[in-house]
Amino acid sequence: MPRHSRPHPVYSFRFWLLVLAAVGFTAAWKLELLPLGKPRPAATPAAHEIELGDSDSGVPADDAEIFQGQSEPGAAPAAEHVTVTALQPRVMPRSDTVAQSPFGTPAPEFVSAAPARGAPPAAPEPQITPAAASSFNPSSTGIVLAADESAPEAPANPFADSAAPESPAEPPAFDFTEIDVHLNAGTKDGDVAAHRVLSELYWQHPELRPQLSERIEQTARRIYFQPQPHYFDEYVVEPGETLQAIARKYSVSWQYLDRLNRVKGKPIQVGQSLKVIKGPFAAVVDLSDYEITVHCHGHYVYRFPVGVGMDGSTPIGTFAVEDKMANPPYNGPEGSFAADDPANPVGERWISLGGGYGIHGTTEPESIGKSESLGCIRMHSQDVEIVFDLLTVGSEVVIQR
């Protein structure tokens, strides 16, 4: 019998039906017409639709201590579920009342042009006293006060009351070009020249102090608080010498030399080089500004916030430090307190000015910047420790309004 040949599968109807079905399925999947593939994300609700239940504060454990001691008002008790209309960042208050220690983290080390070995030291700059600063003439130094001409004058308000008092004028902008030439020289002589002019301006033009602040703090820190560079000949320790004996030669305290040279109470060694500054230091207390400025022969050293006497009870005049005491006992209107009592109202340092008045620490730091003491000068604990180390018995302290 004759055999019938079968048609090739490629010509069959079933084959093409399967091919078309596969192509259609693939196209539908690519166009996401089939409920396959990745699920679509749920729509994010608007901020006003978010409900917050009980949760943690959101403060990382490592950062929790940043928020300690902040004086924010207490929050109202939270309901079990709170609906919020917006999410706002939390801004913590910042306190600038405490001055940062000048002996703290030093600025990048100053690199100066070292004089030739054996060369005589530069002649010391003339001394400046706050009282004599009134004779200072800015034009004599080539430094001039110039009005800021960059901003046009604001037109008068036609609706303003003609009898209304004018707002106080802003202090004129100061031209620091000549001072910056000294600073940018990168030499000790440049530092001293710049600091002398800045100190003169500090005393004679208090209104310029915000403009002077950055530069005068920079030069004062290098001269008085960093162990390098040396502005006087370095002192080389000889056999049998003590830090106390060396400090007396320069009319400063041994505690100051200890801080300045980072000795940290260790015995000094024969042949050791020390940075020295010729004292004594002195201070001016401005009652109206609640500040004490420490200076060295009129050259600015540092300033700190203070608290003063209520009802004008802090005496005005020129005084000399009569005595200094660390960890003093106290007997006064507040009662009697032992030296180690944490409630001792004078804190850990007492600098006597005579007549029962003095400069001391406080257990009420919130009183700094206010007139709340019985007449003494109050300071933050860390600040009075620095002033205690700078001033010596006999140092002059001027108190003025």
Residue 10 has pLDDT above 60, yes or no: no
Q: Which domain-ending residue is among 276, 305, 332? A: 276
Q: Are residues 184 and 206 in the same domain?
A: yes
Residue 158 has pLDDT above 80, yes or no: no
pLDDT per residue as tens digits for the range 65-99: 322 333 323 333 333 332 322 322 223 333 333 34
The mean pLDDT value of the chain amounts to 74
Residues 6+ apart with CB under 8 A from 300: 195, 198, 199, 202, 216, 220, 293
Helix, coil or strand: residue 377: strand
Is 295 among the catalytic positions?
no
H or E stretch at 382: helix 381-390
pLDDT of residue 104: 52
pLDDT per residue as tens digits for the range 103-112: 554 333 333 3
Q: Are residues 222 and 135 in the same domain?
A: yes
Q: Are residues 310 and 353 in the same domain?
A: yes
Tell me if the pTM is above 0.85.
no
Helix segments in 172-316, DSSP class H? 177-184, 188-204, 209-224, 243-249, 254-260
User: Would you say residue 313 lies in a domain?
Assistant: yes
Residues 6+ apart with CB under 8 A from 383: 98, 99, 101, 304, 305
pLDDT per residue as tens digits for the range 118-127: 444 444 444 4
Residue 150 has pLDDT above 70, yes or no: no
User: Would you say residue 196 lies in a domain?
Assistant: yes
pLDDT of residue 18: 79
Cα–Cα distance for residue pair 321/353, rounded to 1 Å: 5
Q: Are residues 316 and 247 in the same domain?
A: no
Cα–Cα distance for residue pair 241/269, rounded to 1 Å: 9
Q: Are residues 181 and 138 in the same domain?
A: yes
pLDDT of residue 36: 53
CATH of the domain at 389: 2.40.440.10
pLDDT of residue 337: 93
User: Would you say residue 22 lies in a domain?
Assistant: no
Q: Which of 70-74, 194-198, 323-327 has the lowest mean pLDDT?
A: 70-74
Q: What are phi and psi of 282, to 5 degrees?
A: -140, 175
pLDDT of residue 91: 30
Q: Enter the tokens of residue 212.
A: 């002077």
User: Would you say residue 85 lies in a domain?
Assistant: no
Pick the more confident residue, 129 or 178.
178
Contact 255, 281 (CB under 8 A): no
Q: Are residues 198 and 245 in the same domain?
A: no
Residue 134 has pLDDT above 90, yes or no: no
Task: Provide the b/e sequence for 350-378 (b: ≥16 CB within 10 Å).
Answer: bbbbeeebbbbbbbebebbbeeebbbbbb
Q: Are residues 355 and 303 in the same domain?
A: yes
Q: Are residues 236 and 223 in the same domain?
A: no
Number of domains in the chain: 3
Residue 384 has pLDDT above 60, yes or no: yes
Q: Are residues 309 and 389 in the same domain?
A: yes
User: Would you say residue 381 lies in a domain?
Assistant: yes
Q: Are residues 221 and 236 in the same domain?
A: no
Among 105-114, 132-141, 355-364, the range with the most confident prediction by mean pLDDT is 355-364
Domain membership of residue 266 as a residue range: 232-276
Is 376 among the catalytic positions?
yes
Q: Are residues 240 and 317 in the same domain?
A: no
Give the chain's length: 401
Q: Find the mean pLDDT for residues 173-201.
A: 94
Q: Are residues 257 and 177 in the same domain?
A: no
CATH of the domain at 261: 3.10.350.10
pLDDT per residue as tens digits for the range 219-268: 999 999 999 999 999 999 999 999 999 999 999 999 999 999 999 989 99
pLDDT tier, 168 (very low <50, low <70, confident <90, very high otherwise): low
Q: Enter the tokens of residue 222.
A: 């290098």
**Catalytic option among 195, 230, 299, 376:** 376
pLDDT tier, 27 (very low <50, low <70, confident <90, very high otherwise): confident
Q: At what angle do helices 209-224 and 177-184 cross, to 10 degrees?
A: 20
Cα–Cα distance for residue pair 59/80, rounded to 1 Å: 20
Cα–Cα distance for residue pair 231/122, rounded to 1 Å: 8
pLDDT of residue 32: 61
**Catalytic option among 195, 205, 295, 360:** 360
